């Protein structure tokens, strides 16, 4: 049976019905990775032996008539900042090269309990700091839709793995758009859940008040299935709220926009968007109207003017504090020095790449006396104003439509030539992290050249189920994205 292109739900159903085995599904994924990934570099650690052994255990459970879980036999990959017991976890940095955790992140545990099979660790920007997946010590990941372009970042390897058909689903982390922007660039569906919806335990932190685990898949139904598996309270993460979650798959199955109030973000220069992305927004609005939603134009002046600056103040200040533990003595890469100060300097200079060092330096500056009072404290106040602006918006609307990125997938190397453009490209994605909102990157088809187009959907905090319901309705009308056609040629 041809397994390529099957959704996670179809694979799980097939394994339960004994149409094929979990081992066959896992071996098919591994074979595709071995065949193509030398060209795309989405996977940095392939766990072939462990994956096959796990798949066999799933098949044995099915044979005994046991309930194997909602994701039984489904192969998946996780970003390399998720702790995986017995499997190397490096954050794609020399600082953690060769480190093997002795425990699983809660998200990995939940996937395992649901019967999913981990087949590898996905490439990423070093310590999740980037928008292109070009800063990894393992080399850059290429976009399966166009190898001259980046897959986005920092979860570029996870998005590329789904787009390439290696796996039907993957996990990433999203601090300022690191799931949604790669999903948009690679032409798959990606979600940043509400802050506190999924446990962050076992994820190497970038900025704890912004980070969130996010699923990537080829369709909204699989996003909802992963949310059902992952979104649960966790005593190991005090920010992961212990409330009774709704059925996300049930919400997606309703797939309705009837009677919904959909806000369309205005007040920014639509001409600054690449034309296909502007057209995608118009198409999404037309679909909403056709499905029975009412459209209202809204402006978010505080958010649009201050979100990028606010985000980088908060994120880099947090990051400089979080990464202070990697000093060459307690954690991470060690380099000898003539004294303690030189040892610290050499260890951190050698262990961290240029982008990470840059962000640590800026973040440390932000937290020093004077700069803290004049920059960090005001940024935290602006963050509250942004949250309040969204609270007021969602008293009048059920969902917001806006862009994800101003541009289609970037050409390779652009980050080095114009880093400021990379930072400003986060203007639409950081807003969800600052306000703790759920957000979906939804594919809206492809350009004539085969590049993905997309829109971003946002909803009130903990309105993840309603967001998936609306996203599924738009996807039903627009169509789910297809797997990329891969080549082995240079």
**Nearest in space to 79 (alpha carbons), one of 36, 42, 104, 129:** 42
**Nearest in space to 248 (alpha carbons), one of 475, 465, 4, 490:** 465
- CA torsion sign, 294 to 295 to 301 to 306? positive
What are the tokens at 256? 């309705």
Please enumerate in sequence order all residues whose Cβ is within 8 A of that of 370, keeping only pairs 6 or more positions apart, or say none.
none
* 178: annotated active-site residue: yes
- Using N-to-C axis directions, what is the helix angle for 8-16 and 22-40, rounded to 10°? 150
Please enumerate in sequence order all residues whose Cβ is within 8 A of that of 368, keeping only pairs 6 or more positions apart, or say none.
none
> What is the rounded (10 degree) CA torsion for 236, 85, 331, 364?
-50
Distance CA 390, CA 313 (A): 20
Q: Which of 178, 199, 307, 405 is catalytic?
A: 178
Residue 128 backbone zone (phi > 0: left; psi -120 to 50: alpha; other: beta)? left
Q: Which of 7, 16, 29, 79 is catalytic?
A: 79
* 154: annotated active-site residue: yes
Residue 200's CB: how many other CB atoms inside 10 A? Answer: 22
**Nearest in space to 182 (alpha carbons), one of 228, 133, 135, 139:** 133
Which residue's entry shows tokens 């058909």? 165
The number of helices, as runs of H, and strands, as runs of E, in the chain is 18, 11
Query: Please, are residues 438 and 385 in contact by the beta-carbon 8 Å criterion?
Result: no
Which residue's entry shows tokens 């809660």? 106
Q: Which of 7, 131, 154, 320 is catalytic?
A: 154
* 346: annotated active-site residue: no
Question: Cβ-count burial of 77 within 10 angstroms (0-12 exposed, 13-18 middle, 19+ buried)?
Answer: buried
Catalytic (active-site) positions: 79, 154, 178
């Amino acid at each position: 049976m041809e397994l390529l292109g099957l959704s996670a739900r179809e694979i799980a159903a097939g394994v339960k019905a004994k149409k094929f085995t979990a081992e066959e599904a896992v071996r098919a994924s591994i074979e595709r990775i071995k065949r193509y990934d030398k060209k795309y570099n989405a996977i940095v650690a392939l766990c072939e032996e462990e994956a096959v052994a796990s798949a066999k255990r799933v098949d044995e459970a099915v044979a005994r008539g046991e309930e194997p879980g909602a994701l039984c036999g489904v192969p998946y990959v996780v970003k390399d900042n998720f702790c995986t017991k017995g499997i190397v976890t490096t954050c794609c940095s020399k600082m953690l090269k060769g480190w093997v955790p002795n425990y699983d992140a809660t998200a990995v545990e939940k996937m395992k309990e649901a019967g999913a099979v981990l087949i590898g660790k996905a490439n990423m920007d070093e310590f999740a700091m980037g928008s292109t997946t070009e800063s990894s010590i393992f080399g850059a990941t290429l976009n399966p839709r166009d190898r001259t372009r980046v897959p986005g970042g920092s979860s570029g390897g996870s998005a590329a793995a789904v787009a390439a058909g290696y796996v039907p689903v993957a996990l990433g982390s999203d601090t300022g758009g690191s799931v949604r922007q790669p999903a948009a660039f690679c032409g798959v569906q990606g979600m940043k859940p509400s802050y506190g919806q999924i446990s962050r335990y076992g994820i190497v932190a970038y900025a704890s008040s912004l980070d969130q685990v996010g699923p990537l898949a080829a369709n909204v139904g699989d996003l909802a299935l992963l949310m059902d598996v992952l979104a649960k309270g966790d005593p190991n993460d005090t920010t992961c709220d212990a409330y009774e979650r709704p059925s996300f798959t049930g919400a997606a199955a309703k797939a309705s926009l009837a009677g919904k109030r959909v806000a369309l973000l205005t007040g920014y220069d639509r001409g600054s968007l690449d034309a296909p992305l502007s057209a995608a927004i118009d198409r999404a609005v037309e679909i909403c109207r056709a499905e029975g939603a009412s459209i209202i134009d809204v402006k978010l002046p505080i958010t649009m003017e201050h979100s990028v600056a606010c985000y980088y103040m908060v994120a880099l200040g947090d990051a400089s504090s979080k990464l202070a533990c990697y000093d060459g003595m307690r954690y991470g890469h060690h380099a000898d020095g003539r004294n303690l100060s030189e040892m610290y300097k050499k260890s951190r200079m050698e262990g961290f790449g240029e982008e990470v060092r840059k962000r640590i330096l800026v973040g440390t500056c932000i937290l020093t006396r004077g700069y803290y009072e004049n920059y960090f404290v005001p940024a935290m106040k602006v963050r509250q104003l942004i949250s309040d602006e969204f609270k007021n918006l969602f008293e009048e609307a059920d969902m917001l439509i806006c862009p994800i990125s101003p541009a289609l997938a970037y050409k390779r190397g652009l980050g080095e030539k114009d880093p400021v453009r990379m930072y400003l490209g986060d203007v639409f994605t950081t807003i969800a992290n600052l306000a703790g909102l759920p957000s979906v990157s939804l594919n809206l088809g492809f350009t004539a050249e085969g590049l993905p187009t997309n829109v971003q959907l946002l909803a009130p905090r903990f309105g993840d189920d309603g967001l998936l319901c609306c996203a599924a309705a738009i996807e039903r009308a627009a169509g789910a994205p297809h797997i990329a056609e891969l080549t082995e040629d240079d």
